[in-house]
Amino acid sequence: MAKTLSILRFPDPRLFKKAKPVAAVDDRIRELVADMARTMYEAPGVGLAATQVDVHERVVVIDVSEQANELLVLINPEILWRSDELKTHEEGCLSVPGVYDTVERADRVRVRALGLDGQPYEFDADGLLAVCVQHEIDHLDGKVFVDYLSPLKQSRIKTRLRKQERQAAAA
């Protein structure tokens, strides 16, 4: 049975570690995916990268469906193509709870990844899925959406999250 994992919170230095490629899609990786999916759905969120649960391998789970029943598993994902057209979207992150801000990203992307069966597949994404794919792959590369914001905003977010942690610890 899948278990719920702890999600690292910004500015934890482990969030900035670059993930290594998965060597083989085996039972250990399938178990990690099940645990990550459960964690994402319970949070609740629409995407989760292994980096966020302190596993530094290139694994992502995403589900942008209305009913949260269309799990997309990306193992060793790579963006093959990005549209020149950029769009600005409001983003949030399970590692940066309660913080939302606008980030500019490619409007459309083409992605290659391995599935749970270890077989490669490709797909095109736009809208929320394109945003989510780029956001989660950033996590695998040691980048958090806050990195796209101004230094002043980054500082304010760190201060606010540290204050929340102190209040939670005191409670």
Phi, psi of 91 (to 5 degrees): -120, 150
Cut 0.85: pTM above it: yes
Stretch 125-152: mean pLDDT: 97
- What is the C-alpha separation between 41 and 26, in angstroms, rounded? 23
Q: Which band of pLDDT confidence, cut at 50, 70 and 90, is reported for residue 79?
A: very high
Q: Is 157's pLDDT higher than 90?
A: yes
Phi, psi of 40 (to 5 degrees): -65, -50
Q: Is 145's pLDDT higher than 90?
A: yes
Residue 89 marked in a binding site: no
Kindly tell me the burial class for residue 134, based on how many C-beta atoms sit within 10 Å of its own C-beta (0-12, 13-18, 19 or more). Answer: buried
Instruction: Please name the residue that has the structure tokens 């409001």.
Output: 90
136 given a catalytic annotation: yes
Q: Which band of pLDDT confidence, cut at 50, 70 and 90, is reported for residue 12?
A: very high
Instruction: Please name the residue that has the structure tokens 């945003």.
Output: 131
- What is the C-alpha separation between 21 and 145, in angstroms, rounded? 21
pLDDT digits (tens, 9 = 90+) for 100-123: 999 999 999 999 999 999 999 999
Domains of the chain, first to last: 13-170 (3.90.45.10)
Mean pLDDT of the chain: 96
Stretch 12-34: mean pLDDT: 97
Catalytic residue among 85, 91, 136, 165: 136
Query: What per-residue confidence (pLDDT) applies to 171?
Result: 84
